[in-house]
Chains A and B, each alone.
Chain A
């Protein structure tokens, strides 16, 4: 094992080159201890059941049965049969005769893989995945998994996953088949086919090459491969760069050192190019940290999570992104200090001049003053700044041109090379290909056999694009890990592997490879799509020479290996990659070309008038890929907190104008059709914006989770594509809102949206105050604890004169605490999803959420304050505060909730009788009660049993009548303490990470030991901005409720528009900055 580690050292050095410029990424909190060598899943987890059946059978044969025994057995069985006619399932719980290699029951194994283009580490127990953690060493995930990657667990064990491939027999009926039959028939079908095409999920890895190879092998053109990626930003950005510079790729955005970001419709905190990476980089550069905070100015037409974190936000109309970006470019051009060569400036000026009337009319309409733009231009040029334009959630007809305008702005502010790393350190590869979708829609009908792999065009493409006609007339081979709408058109509906079961890879950044490998034996009789093709090709007599996709991948990785020049044999190399999950080969370097002539291609389409629909990707379900996962349906949207439904967001004042209220059911009538959904008046929207999330309204009968959930806004659209990127347009078409007079309640988790003038809940500090009060590391020892009597001291957790909370001997080694930085929280809700999955928190369905019974152990409160048209948005994740004077502990009549010696407020489930007094007494109202024995999903009349395999074996499943709440992941604490004890030491700071902390993409959550003065959480607690929720200001003699929590918050900093660096840069920064602190 060690030797491979030393082999990898070389690889690590390269990673340093990749991620390091002058300041390293924040070091991962947890030293990831690699699991056993991953070889082959069969070796690690021998199939138990088979060998056991053999044992049972042989035992049965040898049974000596004579007459007397027979009579005994006969009479006993007759007696039993007459008394108990209940079928008792045969249970096999026989311990291993021989312990499998690398496998200790109860101890987790970790496998590095890549899911959802994020490097993750999958925690498996007894051969099945139980949690998806981020890969702390992976430069793009840096320890945080994406929400979609985490929730793959529920898809893997989904009760509605098909367990057999289906083939169309005869004209109408489709029936279950076995795989051999599938390969045979597929071989025949391919042999007969004249033209075979592939529509596959966008990927950056060797998958693309595989499909090309396959097409070539069966004598088809490579052009018959279409990559489909619903997030339109990839194609728009790469196409814009191709137009501007003549090169492919997407620059890697680095916000760690930017001092000013100008966003025009930017959505890097929602669905960016690389969401985790961008959120990490934003949180380093743009949250108050080391006495500095970068500024972020955003122009947007709908309120996004990104816009919610802007320091200054301007509301523009839908589709105005282009004109506003050009107006900024115009202002930049006027300044002499603008970067870029004279030729580039001339090219840019040509575009701006041609669009002068558009710019001027938009400026007039939006009342954008020249002062504002000039000031902005001045700031952009005087600081390290970056312009982020984007419409990742929804693409308008001018989507690519917006990106092009953004490139111009970035050229002028000189962002390339430094903040937009394109050439020195690799660029993002686009998973899609510009023009592919438009090409597919045009050419689709010429195929007689069409493979659709892991994408659902029947649902995710607007109906008006004619997708149904393409799918109807052809032999469709739909390869999906979950049943989807495309299956209904398919001749072959083949169930394929979940990402947790499949092989694959991604070249996320040019020259940077991430490997995807199975972490579990296939659980649902599924196959890898590529394997199906390989075996079908063999059946039709055109073998590709590979046994399976794994050997194909290994073959391709040999090329990567050769290029890397690693001085070891390939097997060692590949094993090391399997353990690490990624590999940096040669980071490509290219010369930066000059901005070219684009004026003649710059032909913006005119904006439509009136209210315009923005059908954007849902923050949790995206295009609907996550819709069948109850955890995502119930996590709710970050801004509206709505679960299990589609809403129509419009400006509250506009709603008043239209005479519609919250929950009023309206018809949204567009040029292509109409749909019905309820109104959600969302502050901060432009008056013409109608924002509706996609991903819901799926076809009935696909999954019990999606049935009856929401509507699909795409039905309102007419066919339209961005002429440059070829992506279907989902925003900007005029719609009409028609009242129906009916009401339909939206299941919003949060019922009250403003902070009710209770600023003490969420104090904010002006930047100047925060800067002036930065505490130096070396002074921290003198800073008293937030509550003086809470200062760690020998023995006592409590204040001395509190008779309700008697003193007892507390641990002198550990006191667990958590710190939540509100400055960093973006309201994405990853913590809630991770917590639900880690702690077996049940999802309860729309009807129960409507009553208000959602079970999340950590809820993210979202508050709007200020003007309705452009509010300030604040978030506050609230887990159990683990109070030292816990109101809940005093009132429980049966001691079901008590304090443990390490400061945790613990809940004893089997002692709880359900008086619920503790929940009433809790001022944070974060205790959760099991009103029913919740199934995996209770959708009113459609209960679905919770699949026990999808549960975390370390956490008890609670039945009805029991109170539960955040335990600070006590199972992880126990594991960490156990490991430390085995090695005769205390737990390292950062060794234990809670699920929410792991998931938080902006590292807002810190967990650790408060008794260790050097722990990050202890230091965070001494931050000037740290406060205890509802505990007043002890320094002013106000004690509030005096609950003295072990969880503290760090207040937001309000940017005053200044440099935002002030005295900060001059401070002494001895010691490595903590990753999650915002702490000096």
Chain B
């Protein structure tokens, strides 16, 4: 990819084009927004039902004590992964293509992590206890959280990640918010003015901004690796066959990036259409995103294979029992959906023509999202259902409670993401301007 994006736009064209979302949106936007609200209502009523009756409205049972809700949790944390990868690591590597997609990817990260954060609260079934145990408050009884528990690590990992992602995203927004402030009047001007902290765009401010952004990028980079590693420890630290493996951290990180990139692609296509961003989010950016997805897909493929190999090579009957049943047992359907969606279908992207075929790529990206959801479902459900003692084996069947909460989470995520798309610059104007051809060299 060339150093500079080649197009014939001026800086004011950038502002006009990108901020066109503040004007009257596409009808598709309203359709999507209403759909997301309906989903949120479904999710909220399911949650209300659960709070009033009990977590038993979901399909969880003995021995599958974790089910769809933790699948959703890991799924959304995974989605939240790509944002920081694109914004922080690619920033540090100076991959210029990220500049058109990083804003929406970061927004996706923030909303996905917020969505994910809801699930532990839903999952315990007694929301009102959350305050009791969530913060590690030193109290008179000296009851601290159990720092040996991966769930406590998880709490810290995710909250740190959310904090850094939020700061990183918002910091990038500040100059752009100032641009909006300069264009709007009245109350809006005041609101955007407050939100951009009175950004003036002075050289000193830019100097501090650049330094701070770089530091945050450096801070966020290890988090990309740590968050999902720690999420994977929720599983790997127990002695459950199918969970207790050392490959889990890299495997989870690769999977998270895969699902995150696929989700970025899945979101960019409609957003590009809805807010007429085709001019800015260009095929070469999308293709770069696809290449990253393809890379992680192969890593995930390798991880699946290694998992099976190790399970077989270990000679451990319990370990192999879980994997054998995963592939040919009662959960085989989910397994093969996962393999085909995450490993086989993406192979089509080795062809450049297919990479540039938006329709095909969108289908594959959506399938990867499906596949990654099933991957988590597989890991959680099929490992738990049939582990050590055959007498304890059971079967997991999702219920309407599970489906309602999952649908609700998608609605909740989309709702916030659409609001973001409607009122904030979808593409980072300030960063785009940096990589634009110099105005002087522009020919009219």
Check if A and B associate.
yes
Cβ contact of B238, chosen from A862, A887, A925, cutoff 8 A = A887
B240 contacts partner chain A, Cβ-Cβ < 8 Å: yes
Q: How far is the CA of A754 from the CA of B390 in the complex (A)?
A: 7
Q: Of A67-75, A423-431, A907-915, A992-1000, which stretch is located at the interface? A: A907-915
B439 contacts partner chain A, Cβ-Cβ < 8 Å: no
Contacts of B145 in A (CB 8 A): 893-895
A38 contacts partner chain B, Cβ-Cβ < 8 Å: no
B348-386, CB under 8 A of A: which get 1 and which 0?
000000000000000000000000000000000000101
Are B124 and A891 in touch, CB under 8 angstroms? no
Are B149 and A891 in touch, CB under 8 angstroms? yes
Contacts of B93 in A (CB 8 A): none
Nearest-CB distance from B147 to chain A (Å)?
A: 9
Cβ contact of A917, chosen from B149, B390, B393, cutoff 8 A = B149
**Chain A residue with the shortest CB-CB distance to B396:** A852
Q: Of A255-263, A605-613, A755-763, which stretch is located at the interface? A: A755-763
A522 contacts partner chain B, Cβ-Cβ < 8 Å: no
Are A931 and B60 in touch, CB under 8 angstroms? yes
Which positions 106-142 of chain A face chain B at CB distance < 8 Å?
none
A750 contacts partner chain B, Cβ-Cβ < 8 Å: yes
A472-498, CB under 8 A of B: which get 1 and which 0?
000000000000000000000000000
Q: Interface range on chain B: under 10, 10 to 19, 20 to 34, or 35 or more?
A: 35 or more
B143 contacts partner chain A, Cβ-Cβ < 8 Å: yes
A878 contacts partner chain B, Cβ-Cβ < 8 Å: yes
**Chain B residue with the shortest CB-CB distance to A860:** B391
Are B238 and A920 in touch, CB under 8 angstroms? yes
Q: How far is the CA of A933 from the CA of B54 in the complex (A)?
A: 8
A409-449, CB under 8 A of B: which get 1 and which 0?
00000000000000000000000000000000000000000
B96 contacts partner chain A, Cβ-Cβ < 8 Å: no
B58-86, CB under 8 A of A: which get 1 and which 0?
01111101100000000000000000000
Q: How far is the CA of A854 from the CA of B150 in the complex (A)?
A: 28
Are B392 and A926 in touch, CB under 8 angstroms? yes
Q: How far is the CA of A924 from the CA of B237 in the complex (A)?
A: 17
Are B62 and A919 in touch, CB under 8 angstroms? yes
**Chain B residue with the shortest CB-CB distance to A755:** B390
Which positions 328-359 of chain B face chain A at CB distance < 8 Å?
none
Q: How far is the CA of A754 from the CA of B126 in the complex (A)?
A: 38
Q: How far is the CA of A576 from the CA of B66 in the complex (A)?
A: 57
Q: How far is the CA of A756 from the CA of B386 in the complex (A)?
A: 11
Are A756 and B321 in touch, CB under 8 angstroms? yes
Are B133 and A761 in touch, CB under 8 angstroms? no
Contacts of A917 in B (CB 8 A): 65, 149, 151, 234, 238
A1041 contacts partner chain B, Cβ-Cβ < 8 Å: yes
Are B390 and A893 in touch, CB under 8 angstroms? no
Are A920 and B384 in touch, CB under 8 angstroms? yes
Are A921 and B389 in touch, CB under 8 angstroms? no
Q: How far is the CA of A929 from the CA of B58 in the complex (A)?
A: 13
The A/B interface has a contact count, at CB < 8 Å, of 162
Q: How far is the CA of A928 from the CA of B62 in the complex (A)?
A: 7
A913-957, CB under 8 A of B: which get 1 and which 0?
111110111011111111111000000000000000000000000
Q: How far is the CA of A753 from the CA of B239 in the complex (A)?
A: 24
A967-1007, CB under 8 A of B: which get 1 and which 0?
00000000000000000000000000000000000000000
B152 contacts partner chain A, Cβ-Cβ < 8 Å: yes
Are B62 and A891 in touch, CB under 8 angstroms? no
B287 contacts partner chain A, Cβ-Cβ < 8 Å: no
B56 contacts partner chain A, Cβ-Cβ < 8 Å: yes
Are B239 and A1041 in touch, CB under 8 angstroms? yes
Q: How far is the CA of A95 from the CA of B336 in the complex (A)?
A: 68
Are B61 and A851 in touch, CB under 8 angstroms? yes
B7 contacts partner chain A, Cβ-Cβ < 8 Å: no
Are A863 and B151 in touch, CB under 8 angstroms? no
Q: How far is the CA of A875 from the CA of B207 in the complex (A)?
A: 74
Q: How far is the CA of A241 from the CA of B144 in the complex (A)?
A: 72
A281 contacts partner chain B, Cβ-Cβ < 8 Å: no
Please indicate which of the listed interface residues A887, A892, A931 has the most CB atoms of chain B within 10 Å of its own CB: A931
Which positions 432-468 of chain A face chain B at CB distance < 8 Å?
none
B132 contacts partner chain A, Cβ-Cβ < 8 Å: yes
Are A961 and B126 in touch, CB under 8 angstroms? yes
B12 contacts partner chain A, Cβ-Cβ < 8 Å: no
Q: How far is the CA of A750 from the CA of B143 in the complex (A)?
A: 39
Contacts of B239 in A (CB 8 A): 887, 921, 923, 1041, 1043
Q: How far is the CA of A923 from the CA of B63 in the complex (A)?
A: 10
Are A915 and B143 in touch, CB under 8 angstroms? no
Are B56 and A853 in touch, CB under 8 angstroms? yes
Please indicate which of the listed interface residues A861, A878, A913, A927 has the most CB atoms of chain B within 10 Å of its own CB: A913
Contacts of B388 in A (CB 8 A): 758, 761, 923-925, 1030, 1041
B202 contacts partner chain A, Cβ-Cβ < 8 Å: no
Nearest-CB distance from A205 to chain B (Å)?
A: 42
Contacts of A804 in B (CB 8 A): 148
Cβ contact of B387, chosen from A751, A754, A923, cutoff 8 A = A923
Cβ contact of B54, chosen from A854, A928, A960, cutoff 8 A = A960
Contacts of A924 in B (CB 8 A): 388-389, 392
Cβ contact of A892, chosen from B123, B149, B384, cutoff 8 A = B149
Nearest-CB distance from A876 to chain B (Å)?
A: 7
Which positions 818-870 of chain A face chain B at CB distance < 8 Å?
848, 851-854, 859, 861-863
Q: Offer 24 A-B interface pairs, CB within 8 angstroms, sorted by A.
A: A751-B394, A752-B386, A758-B317, A758-B318, A758-B389, A851-B59, A853-B56, A878-B392, A891-B150, A893-B146, A895-B143, A895-B144, A911-B143, A913-B124, A914-B125, A916-B60, A917-B149, A917-B238, A919-B63, A920-B384, A921-B239, A921-B240, A926-B392, A928-B62
A residues in contact (CB < 8 Å) with B: 750-758, 761, 804, 848, 851-854, 859, 861-863, 876, 878, 887, 890-895, 911, 913-917, 919-921, 923-933, 960-961, 1029-1030, 1041, 1043
Given contacts A852-B395, A893-B133, A931-B61, 8 further A-B contacts (CB under 8 A): A751-B393, A756-B390, A804-B148, A891-B237, A915-B151, A920-B66, A921-B239, A929-B62
Sort A-B residue pairs by CB-CB distance and give the 8 closest, nearest first.
Answer: A861-B391, A931-B56, A925-B392, A916-B65, A852-B61, A932-B54, A893-B151, A852-B394
